[in-house]
Amino acid sequence: MGKLKNLNYKKIKKIGAGGYGEVYKCRNTVTGQKVAIKMMTIQTEQEGVPSYIIREVSLLKELEHENIVRLLDVQSSRKDVFLVFEYLDLDLHSFITRHKNTLNLLVIKAILKQILLGLAYCHSLKILHRDLKPNNLLIDLKSNTVKLADFGLARAIGVPQKEYSRDCVYSPYKAPELLLGYTGYSTPIDVWAVGCIFAEMITGKPLFPSKKHDHLSLIFRYLTDLTNYLNLAEKFPNLEPAGVDLLSQMLCLNPKQRITAMDALKHEYLIGVENVPLVLPSSSCISCQCCERNATLSDIIEQNRHALIKNLLKRDV
């Protein structure tokens, strides 16, 4: 990451990695702003910038919504492309893990609504995310905002609708039509993924924690019929009936009958839902500003302690 020195950014730490590159928390050396930089290496210079990078950048430049991560800048060197994003505190996976199955239902509603707001906006522009999972949902603890991120696998929906590749979503959140090999899929695959995330926020663990070869059989064992209402009510006894109904419509096996993101926002379970404070348990700590302030304070105390000892030694002499 020494390559960033020429781009006015200083690396703080590595915060993620994927098939297309690595993500670093950085600081702008001119403005002091913290950002997240996704660095992608161009494997073959002869072919120029790969199509998947061009596609991700073009989609992100088109998306402007408070529940979608902002692309601040795009820079490049001879062999690398750097996507500069706004920096957020943590992802939903970390948020769920640190709460240890104690997420308040009001918090779950607020998070779910924000995810659906971002997704409905994408779908209104005919864009599929195709990789929704807790790791790709980022949280800003200061503004209590949840944002969709990582559009590396996103696609614009063609007219007429075209076929897409099958392997586009990480297994626990993959819709059954994808597992059955259907390539003419559309927006319902994203809604299925959000349904799985909704269930995971309630239980604290993936709804279908399966390996690829038995994922489909696990779904059919879990959802015994097309309405699957009674089975879900038994699995989530603490979820109010309206929540069970919404979850059942999001996890409908038939994609044509699956609820849309826009209709899910109109469901009675989410009516009147407002943003609530998204806070971590008191025992949790993340690498954010509060930690950095504490670290700075500790350094000051340590420095003063050494100065005091030196003064005492001088007096003794």
The angle, 0 to 180 degrees and rounded to 10, between the axes of the packed helices 188-203 and 105-124 is 170
Provide mean pLDDT across the span 18-28: 85
pLDDT at 19: 63
Instruction: Output the pLDDT for position 86.
Output: 97
Indicate if the pLDDT at residue 167 is higher than 90: no
The reported pLDDT for the residue numbered 280 is: 86
Q: What is the pLDDT of residue 59?
A: 93
Residue 48 — pLDDT band, cuts 50, 70, 90? confident
Q: What pLDDT sits at residue 263?
A: 98
pLDDT of residue 53: 86
Please determine, for residue 229, whether its predicted confidence score (pLDDT) is greater than 90.
no
Q: What percent of the chain has pLDDT over 70?
A: 78
- Comparing 145-149, 179-183, 279-283, which segment has the lowest mean pLDDT? 279-283
Q: Which residues are catalytic?
A: 131
Provide the pLDDT confidence category of residue 224 given band limits of 50, 70 and 90: low
Residue 264 φ then ψ, to 5°: -65, -35
Q: Where are the domains of the chain?
A: 2-86, 90-265
Per residue, what are the HEC states of the chain? CHHHHHHCEEEEEEEEEECCEEEEEEEECCCCCEEEEEEEECCCHHHCCCHHHHHHHHHHHHCCCCCECCEEEEEECCCEEEEEEECCCEEHHHHHHHHCCCCCHHHHHHHHHHHHHHHHHHHHCCEECCCCCHHHEEEECCCCEEEECCCCCCEECCCCCCCCCCCCCCHHHCCHHHHCCCCCCCCHHHHHHHHHHHHHHHHCCCCCCCCHHHHHHHHHHHCCCCCCHHHHHHHCCCCCHHHHHHHHHHCCCCCCCCCCHHHHHCCCCCCCCCCCCCCCCCCCCCCCHHHHHHHHHHHHHHHHHHHHHHHHHHHHC
Task: Quote the Cα angle for 13-17-18, to 5°.
Answer: 165
Over residues 125-152, mean pLDDT: 95
Mean pLDDT rounded to a whole number for the chain: 83
* pLDDT of 49 strictly over 50: yes
Which of these ranges, 102-106, 136-140, 148-152, 310-314, has the smallest mean pLDDT? 310-314
Give 94's pLDDT tier (boundaries 50, 70, 90).
very high
Sign of the dihedral through C-alpha 230, 231, 237, 242: negative
The winner for highest mean pLDDT among 3-7, 10-14, 297-301 is 10-14
Q: Which CATH superfamily is domain 90-265 in?
A: Transferase(Phosphotransferase) domain 1 (1.10.510.10)
Confidence of residue 16 (pLDDT cuts 50, 70, 90): confident
Average pLDDT on 188-194 reads 97
State the fold for domain 2-86. Phosphorylase Kinase; domain 1 (3.30.200)
Q: Rounded distance, CA 225 to CA 242, Å?
A: 19
Average pLDDT over residues 200-220: 84
Distances in Å between the alpha carbon of 234 and those of 172, 201, 230? 21, 17, 6
pLDDT of residue 21: 80
Of the listed ranges 16-25, 120-129, 220-229, 257-266, the least confidently predicted one is 220-229
Is residue 292 predicted with pLDDT exceeding 50?
no
Between these two residues, 166 and 150, which has the higher pLDDT value? 150
DSSP-assigned beta bridge partners for residue 85: 36, 71
Burial grade of 91 (CB within 10 A; 0-12, 13-18, 19 or more): buried
In the chain, what is the straight-line distance between the N-terminal and C-terminal CA atoms, in Å?
Answer: 49
CA–CA dist 65, 84 (Å, integer): 17
Highest averaged pLDDT of the listed ranges 105-109, 153-157, 162-166? 105-109
In the predicted structure, residue 312 carries a pLDDT above the cut 70: no
